[in-house]
Structure 1
Amino acid sequence: MKSLEEWVDKLKEVDKTIVVEGVKDKINLRKLGIPEKRIIFLDGPLYQIAEKIYKREKDCILLLDLDKEGKKLYSRLRHDLQRFGVKIDNKFREFLYKKTSMTYIEKIKLEEN
């Protein structure tokens, strides 16, 4: 992935559950064209979220914010998911971290949005 536009296109194509921190993050991904049924936000204890994902599928994408709190949540949720044997696709989060100055998922915008 070389651009944010390509990142969004790839995110639309992949058929995995996408986990975000809050409702605003979910709404923003919906505005970017990601199907609502694929997006879960943290609405309960992390172990319950991990169990819900495990029952749903064996792969997921964690798109938690890149601030201090988001990094803590990412670490804890990743640990819980790995205990269930869920594989985490990190390439989308790593792209944001390495190739953009984005910190918050709710702030991601494309030029035409």
Structure 2
Amino acid sequence: MNSSLSLLKKQMKFNPKLRGEIEKYKGYVVLVEGKKDVLALRQFGFTNVYAIHKTGIGLRERVEQIVASVSDKKKRFCVLTDFDRQGKKLYMFVKSVLHEQGVRVDSALRGILLKAGLSHVEGFGKFMEKLP
């Protein structure tokens, strides 16, 4: 059994309501790195998911574009970049741009997924399929 799967099983043992906790965030605006990440989250009912990497647009401009497209400025945002070193740096940058735009960022879902052993957002679908 690989280490991420055993960590997931350990997490599930202590938190059998993990699926329900994750599903509470479906109404949030979720910013992810790319198209595969968007698809992985939409597959499980997340509707307001945006890829921050888009050809021909700088990262700051793309984040500002997403914020401008959201009609309810009080809506909560969540940044789900990968949990590797590069993803953490990207998370910090995107979070700072969102704060500059006056957007409230909720990091709880990120923490839940990190603690449960998810390493890459595009693996969210397989991760959710393993949950009870």
> Shared fold (TM-score greater than 0.5)?
yes
Q: TM-score, normalised by structure 2?
A: 0.71
Q: Which residue matches 2:111?
A: 94
Q: Which residue matches 2:29?
A: 17
Structure-2 change in CA distance of 1:65 and 1:112 (3 Å): closer
Distance 1:41 1:70 in 2: 13
Unaligned runs of 5+ in 2: 1-14
Matched, 1:39 2:54: no
Unaligned runs of 5+ in 1: none
Distance 1:24 1:103 in 2: 14
Which of 90, 93, 99 is the equivalent residue of 1:73? 90
Distance 1:67 1:34 in 2: 23
Shift of 1:111: 3.1
Q: Which runs of 4+ in 1 moved over 2 A?
A: 109-113
Distance 1:84 1:53 in 2: 11
Matches within 5 A, 1:41-60: 41-42=51-52, 43=54, 44-55=57-68, 56=70, 57-58=73-74, 59-60=76-77
Considering only CA atoms, is the larger Rg found in Structure 1 or Structure 2?
A: 2
Superposed CA RMSD: 1.9
Contact 2:81 2:87 in 1 (8 A): yes
Deviations 1:18-66 (A, max 9, x none): 101111111111111222xx11001232211221233223431111111
Identity in percent: 30
Aligned pair count reads 107
SS at match of 1:89: coil
Q: Which residue matches 1:85?
A: 102
Distance 2:97 2:107 in 1: 15
Q: TM-score, normalised by structure 1?
A: 0.82
